Homo-oligomer: A and B are copies of this chain.
Amino acid sequence: MFIKNLPHKTVERLSQYRRALLMILSKEKTHVFSHEIAQMLHITPVQVRRDLMLIGYSGNLRKGYDIKELIDLIGKIIDSERGQRVAVVGLGNLGKAFISYFKGKRSKLSMIAAFDINPEKINRVFDGVPCYHINQLPEIIKQNNISIGIITVPSEQAPEIAESLVLSGIKGILNYTPKPLNVPAYVYLEEYDMITSLEKVAFFAKKNDERFK
């Protein structure tokens, strides 16, 4: 399904709508209003309606949105029909956390492999995901047609891992390292830095504190 130029934030919210809807899906409740979705995610109903407008979904004027239909439509838009395979590079605490969070969640995304350099982890299975040595990365990525890589290695190693992923044909990278990466335009890169997040919270907590005291 093609919808041109869906805004980044809308894509994020669609993912959240779907998860929220999956949670309330039941026989008794088949429909949901925009203000109900909004309340679950602490956003405004207008935002919800606007997002749904962008993906061309229409609800019933008096009953709201058909939950099942909406879940399916979001799937048609954000999922890849053939599914996408994911690998985690770096099986430390963060890599493990990701795999555990992920487990049994999304049917169209499958966690296929983890990579590390620690011999104790290699050739073992963590939470259903086999771990290989990093120098097998190109081989495994290509063989299994893995298109998404999550980087959770120590930051010094991030650039070379990214390069290796790109050369192996990866299409998207999620970088949890504080080291900003350089990738070609045909690879989508998303970066998230925990320390920056914490410093941001610290800043606004301090500011709030001054304002409300």
Contacts and interface: CB of A to CB of B under 8 A. Distances in A.
A144 to B, nearest CB: 15
Interface in A132-177: 147-148, 150, 152, 171-174
Given A148-B202, A196-B16, A200-B12, A209 B171 contact: yes
Interface-centre pick from A80, A187, A198, A212 (highest chain B CB count, 10 A) = A198
B208 A171 contact: yes
B209 A147 contact: yes
A46 interface: no
**Total identical chains:** 2
A188 B201 contact: yes
Nearest to A81: B206
Interface string A176-213: 00101110011110101111111111111111110110
Contact of A172 (B79, B105, B202): B202
Interface size class of A (residues with CB under 8 A): 35 or more
Contact of A198 (B42, B174, B199, B211): B174
Contacts of A40: 180
Contact of A192 (B109, B172, B197): B197
Nearest to A170: B205
Contact of A202 (B84, B97, B196, B203): B84
B15 A194 contact: no
A24 interface: no
A93 B97 CA distance: 5
Contact of A208 (B182, B186, B204, B209): B186
Contacts of A148: 198, 201-202, 205
A130 B192 CA distance: 27
A19 interface: yes
A100 interface: yes
Given A40-B180, A80-B202, A171-B206, 20 more contacts: A11-B200, A78-B203, A79-B202, A84-B202, A84-B205, A84-B206, A86-B202, A93-B96, A94-B94, A94-B97, A97-B152, A102-B194, A102-B195, A105-B195, A172-B201, A172-B204, A174-B197, A185-B212, A187-B208, A188-B204
